[in-house]
């Protein structure tokens, strides 16, 4: 049976990690870098920030950034109308943003994926009811729903998180459901059932791993969205209270004095834009890196 | 000789269309039986019925399928799952899509071994490597760590064959395992299936539309058309002395080494038409008869 033996070397790809990173390209690096930077800033806020974010110095209110004439070296990015250090407030706001982004999108993902998997895998009336629920849910304008929710539950970080989870689980549920159905229709899913796996085992062992690239990508994008929603909610004043720093709150304050001190409003907007771009690029890069050529 | 698989008068309908109209066939222990038929004859439906993979709208309207004397259709899901993969295994048609793209080969083979034989991680891994070397894969340990997309179609088919025989099943259903492969790889795969059968002592139900393949490896064969069994017997007898006009026509349409190629004749359309007409007449008769 010598002719049965395959000739030619069987070479494993030297490094899957390296090729995955190469597929991700610049998006992955830039996005990953921005996200990492944001996480580090949030984590080490007390170490980096030059001042206490709540410390007021009315004598030096509305100072311009240090590099503009009239600025002071003690306040690198200037001060707001209460004389608080803008840089420190930006840094501490990252904490708020990151914690909302992480917690809210993870919770939304868990709920959405569970419902999506169940709907996709079991079909029938279960699928019908979950799908209709999603349809109805998505008919509401999301930001309005969040505002109403946050207003009803009361202001605070928990209600912001709750509002985001309640609105955004549909995003995960819808896509997980569709992808589960698509994967179940493939031969390998049938092959898995033929091996004697139960439906639950097949879902966990065979289907879920195939959803990972999609879920990771969605998570990254969702974190960007969560940051935006948090900003919107603090802009309308139903997020954290005024003494906790948040980008949305800073924008509100800066709006009133935008002609006298434009940096107070411009800087937090820039911070929001950069972090959302970071998460989106990161998600996009991850999709390219994780989406295997292996899928066919 | 004991009977492994006994299908008796199986009727399957999808919606109002009958796809199997009373199929009966037996597979004896250790034998290779060919199940031959053209596209739409219902070959795959037989396999799907056994594995419980019929499409949602399909219903088994009559008949029995027993495996080693136990009624497969009547048994609870849990018991059937214990048989599937362990006593009854499948070699799927398309090696390119039948492996999970995001799991390593080793993990997929070990999953079967651990599910049914309750092997430890270490033992499952060793057994998986052993199986891969049985299907003549060089460097089994290396292949275990690869993903399906890193293997060629022939290699993947070998992996699937190894998985099918992993738990020493007594029946393997090979659903056109050579159709998706190059002709050059086909012969190797056939030899491999035959060798694995001898080694593990399984019976094989070989579903195919290729009479040449049947002639090569099957001891007995069943010819299916429009969901009906037209001919059943030892391969040698059927090929030498076909009883049914359809079988004769199929043979006349099959290239053979001992015959010039210009003598090939297509199956006459009139014959096909009369067969379908007969099938539909039977359907009407059955519909009129009270159940």
Per the CB < 8 Å rule, is A1 touching B136?
A: yes
Tens digit of pLDDT for each residue in B15-49? 888 888 888 999 998 899 999 888 878 888 888 88
* Residue B163 touches chain A, beta carbons under 8 Å: yes
What is the nearest CA distance from A169 to chain B, expressed in angstroms? 25
Of A4, A196, A295, the CB nearest to B85: A196
Contact list in B for residue A6 (CB cut-off 8 A) is 136-138, 154-155
The kind and range of the H/E element at A220 are helix A208-235
Q: Domains, chain B, ranges and CATH?
A: 3-288 (3.40.50.300)
Q: Determine the pLDDT at residue A8.
A: 47
What is the nearest CA distance from B257 to chain A, expressed in angstroms? 23
Name which of A1, A2, A3, A10 to mutate to probe chain B: the one with the most chain B Cβ atoms within 10 A of its Cβ: A10
Q: How far from chain centre, in Å, is Cα A132?
A: 26
CB neighbour list of residue A42: distance below 8 Å, 6 or more residues apart? A94, A95, A97, A98, A99
Per the CB < 8 Å rule, is B154 touching A198?
A: no
Number of cross-chain residue pairs from A and B with Cβ atoms under 8 Å apart: 106
Task: For residues A180 and A210, give the distance between their C-alpha atoms in angstroms, rounded to a whole number.
Answer: 9
Per the CB < 8 Å rule, is B96 touching A4?
A: no
Residue B258 has pLDDT above 80, yes or no: no
The kind and range of the H/E element at A11 are none
The label of the residue with tokens 């207003």 reads A151
Per the CB < 8 Å rule, is B102 touching A186?
A: no
Residue A61 has pLDDT above 60, yes or no: yes
CB neighbour list of residue B180: distance below 8 Å, 6 or more residues apart? B93, B94, B95, B96, B153, B157
Tokens of B262: 């210009």
Per the CB < 8 Å rule, is B97 touching A187?
A: yes
Task: Assign domain A102-296 to its CATH superfamily.
Answer: MetI-like (1.10.3720.10)
The label of the residue with tokens 């304050």 reads A253
Name which of B48, B54, B102 to mutate to probe chain A: the one with the most chain A Cβ atoms within 10 A of its Cβ: B102
Contact list in B for residue A3 (CB cut-off 8 A) is 188
Scan residues 3-62 of B and list those with Cβ closer than 8 Å to A. Answer: 51-53, 56
Of all residues in chain A, the one with the smallest CA distance to B132 is: A5
Q: Determine the pLDDT at residue A242.
A: 65
Q: Determine the pLDDT at residue B159.
A: 92
Tens digit of pLDDT for each residue in B129-185? 999 998 888 888 889 998 888 888 888 999 999 999 998 999 999 988 887 778 888
Residue A158 neighbours by CB distance under 10 Å: 13
Tens digit of pLDDT for each residue in A155-205? 778 888 888 888 889 989 999 999 888 888 888 888 888 888 888 888 888
Where helices occur in chain B by DSSP H, the ranges are 43-51, 77-83, 105-117, 121-134, 140-144, 153-164, 183-200, 211-217, 235-240, 245-252, 269-288
Per the CB < 8 Å rule, is A296 touching B101?
A: yes
Scan residues 32-51 of A and list those with Cβ closer than 8 Å to B. Answer: none
Q: Determine the pLDDT at residue A56.
A: 78
Task: For residues B252 and B231, give the distance between their C-alpha atoms in angstroms, rounded to a whole number.
Answer: 16
Contact list in A for residue B91 (CB cut-off 8 A) is none
* Residue A2 touches chain B, beta carbons under 8 Å: no
Q: Of A278-287, B218-227, B240-249, give the lowest mean pLDDT range.
A: B240-249
Which of B160, B101, B77, B92 shows the shortest CA–CA distance to A200? B77
CB neighbour list of residue B160: distance below 8 Å, 6 or more residues apart? A191, B91, B92, B95, B98, B99, B177
């Amino acid at each position: 049976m010598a002719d049965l033996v395959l000739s030619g070397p069987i070479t494993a790809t030297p490094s899957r990690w390296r090729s995955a990173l190469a597929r991700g390209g610049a998006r992955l690096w830039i996005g990953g870098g921005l996200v990492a930077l944001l996480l580090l800033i949030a984590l080490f806020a007390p170490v980096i920030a030059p001042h206490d974010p709540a410390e007021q110095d009315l004598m030096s209110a509305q100072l311009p950034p240090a590099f503009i004439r009239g600025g002071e070296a003690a306040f690198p990015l200037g001060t707001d109308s209460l004389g608080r250090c803008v840089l420190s407030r930006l840094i501490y706001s990252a904490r708020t943003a990151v914690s909302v982004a992480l917690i809210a999108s993870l919770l939304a993902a868990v709920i959405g994926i569970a419902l999506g998997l169940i709907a996709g895998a079991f079909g029938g009336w279960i699928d019908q009811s979950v799908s209709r629920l999603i349809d109805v849910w998505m008919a509401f304008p999301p930001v309005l729903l969040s505002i109403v929710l946050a207003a009803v539950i009361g202001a605070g970080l928990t209600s912001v998180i709750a509002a985001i989870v309640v609105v955004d689980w549909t995003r995960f549920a819808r896509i997980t459901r569709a992808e589960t159905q698509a994967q179940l229709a493939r031969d390998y899913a049938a092959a898995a059932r033929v091996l004697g796996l139960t439906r639950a085992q097949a879902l966990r062992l065979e289907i879920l791993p195939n959803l990972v690239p999609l879920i990771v990508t969605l998570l990254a994008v969702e974190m960007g969205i969560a940051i935006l929603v948090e900003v919107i909610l603090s802009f309308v004043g139903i997020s954290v209270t005024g003494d906790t720093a948040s980008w949305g709150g800073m924008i509100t304050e800066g709006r009133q004095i935008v002609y006298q001190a434009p940096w107070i409003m411009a800087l937090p907007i820039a911070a929001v834009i950069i972090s959302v771009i970071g998460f989106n690029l990161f998600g996009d890069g991850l999709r390219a890196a994780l989406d295997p050529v292996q899928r066919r | 000789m004991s009977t492994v698989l006994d299908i008796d008068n199986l009727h399957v309908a999808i919606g109002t269309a009958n796809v199997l109209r009373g199929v009966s066939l037996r597979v004896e222990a250790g034998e290779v039986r060919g199940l031959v038929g053209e596209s739409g004859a219902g070959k795959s439906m037989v396999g799907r019925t056994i594995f419980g993979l019929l499409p949602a709208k399909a219903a088994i309207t009559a008949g029995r399928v027993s495996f080693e004397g136990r009624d497969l259709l009547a048994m609870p899901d849990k018991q059937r799952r214990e048989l599937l993969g362990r006593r009854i295994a499948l070699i799927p048609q398309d090696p390119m899509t039948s492996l999970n793209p995001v799991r390593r080969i080793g993990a997929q083979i070990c999953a079967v071994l651990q599910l049914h034989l309750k092997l430890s991680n270490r033992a499952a891994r060793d057994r998986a490597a052993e199986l891969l070397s049985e299907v003549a894969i060089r460097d089994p340990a290396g292949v275990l760590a690869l993903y399906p997309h890193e293997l060629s179609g022939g290699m993947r088919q070998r992996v699937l064959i190894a998985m099918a025989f992993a738990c020493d099943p007594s029946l393997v259903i090979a659903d056109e395992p050579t159709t998706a492969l190059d002709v050059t790889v086909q012969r190797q795969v056939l030899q491999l299936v035959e060798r694995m059968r001898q080694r593990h002592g399984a019976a094989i139900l070989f579903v195919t539309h290729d009479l040449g393949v049947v002639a090569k490896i099957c001891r007995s064969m069943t010819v299916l058309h429009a969901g009906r069994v037209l001919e059943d017997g030892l391969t040698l007898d059927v090929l030498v002395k076909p009883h049914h006009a359809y079988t004769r026509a199929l043979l006349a349409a099959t290239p053979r080494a001992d015959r010039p190629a210009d003598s090939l004749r297509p199956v006459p359309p009139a014959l096909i038409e009369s067969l379908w007409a007969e099938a539909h007449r039977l359907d009407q008769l059955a519909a009129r008869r009270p159940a």
